[in-house]
Amino acid sequence: MKILSIGECMAEMSPQGDVGTFQLGFAGDTFNTAWYLRQFDPSADVSFLTGLGTDTISEQLRNVITQAGISDDYVLEIPDRTIGLYLISLENGERSFSYWRGQSAARCLASDPAMLERAINDHDLIYFSGITLAILDPKGRAALLSAVRDGRAAGKTIAFDPNLRPRLWESTDTMLDVTMAGAAVSDIVLPSFEDEATWFNDADPQATAQRYLSAGGRTIVVKNGADSIYFVSPDGDGTVRVPPISNIVDTTAAGDSFNAVILSGLGGGVPLTDSIAAACQLSGAVVQARGALVPIAPSEGTP
């Protein structure tokens, strides 16, 4: 199964032990998932579609992409732009983000519809997120949604994480509308209940799943922090308990790493409950280290 992940990767400043000390890395939700896909399954065939500049930091990021074994065949070069930057702030292990990404090259990732179409045609599973949609202008959003819709009609499997980030959107209403439009072109939706409850007023994870099913999704897995995960698929619904973690230092990329294991399982025909259990194991390891991309020993990531 060839997987295409579409979105933005930024320079990441991740706080280290001493106040004022940061580690420079690279991260962004859909890239994190691509990276964890390769960590979890080193034979995974993964491409990342984004926009990069041609400056030194863009070149460094391109090297990170290719050194992770992720194809950069669908990276668009935007010579007069560079990559975005974000900084992680931590409070008791829970993260929040500050961004400098208003003019990032990734904002142009949907500016070549023919390239989008080629990329989608060349893969079996297409993954994108609410952040991917948020960084695009209305024309880019329409181009991406239309390319993904066509891909689905042609038999591609589409996976979407709403990843609600209100600060990236021009208004809450636009965020809610475009998020539902993203779900409407997707087979698999991977939301996080806390965000969904805040912005869509869902009473419980079942309500979140029902809303995305009604939009057109077929399999919905509702992440819920340390609480049980609710899923619904064509084979039925259920909950999976999340093993307790005592040493949470940074929750950045917990959901992204979780998604990677779910996507990986789709190719191998792994039962969804087994994939969810393995996804919890990987995200449980990720939150015990700082930064988005945490190298994981194979035994921590395999079911």
Ligand X SMILES: O=C(O)C(=O)C[C@H](O)[C@H](O)CO
Kindly state whether residue 106 participates in binding ligand X, applying the rule CB under 6 A: no
**Residues binding ligand X: what is the number (CB under 6 A)?**
13
Q: Is 27 in the site for ligand X (CB under 6 A)?
A: yes
In DSSP notation, 148-162 reads HHHHHHTT-EEEEE-
Contact track, ligand X, 161-200, x by CB under 6 A? ----x-----------------------------------
- Measured in degrees and rounded to the nearest 5, phi and psi for residue 255 equal -70, -35
Q: Which is nearer to ligand X, 157 or 163 (CB)?
A: 163
Q: Does 252 bind ligand X (CB under 6 A)?
A: yes
With respect to ligand X, which residue has the nearer C-beta, 216 or 225?
225
Q: Please identify, using beta-carbon distances, which residue of 101 and 156 lies nearer to ligand X.
A: 101
Q: Is 256 a catalytic residue?
A: yes
In single-letter form, the type of residue at position 222 comes to V
Tell me which stretch binds ligand X (CB under 6 A): 27-35, 113-121, 239-247, 265-273: 27-35
Contact between 292 and ligand X per CB under 6 A: yes
Instruction: Sketch the per residue contact string, 115 through 154, with ligand X: x for CB under 6 A, - otherwise.
Output: ----------------x-----------------------
Say whether residue 104 binds ligand X (CB under 6 A).
no
Mark 256-285 with x for binding to ligand X (rule: CB under 6 A) and - for no binding.
x-----------------------------
Judged by CB under 6 A, does residue 86 bind ligand X?
yes
Pick between residue 45 and residue 256 the one whose CB is nearest to ligand X: 256
Q: Which stretch binds ligand X (CB under 6 A): 13-21, 22-30, 65-73, 224-232?
A: 22-30
Cα-Cα-Cα-Cα dihedral of 130, 131, 133, 134, to 10°?
110
Q: Which of 32, 104, 257, 283 binds ligand X (CB under 6 A)?
A: 32
Catalytic positions, please? 256
Residues forming the site for ligand X (CB under 6 A): 27-29, 32, 86, 97, 131, 165, 252-253, 255-256, 292
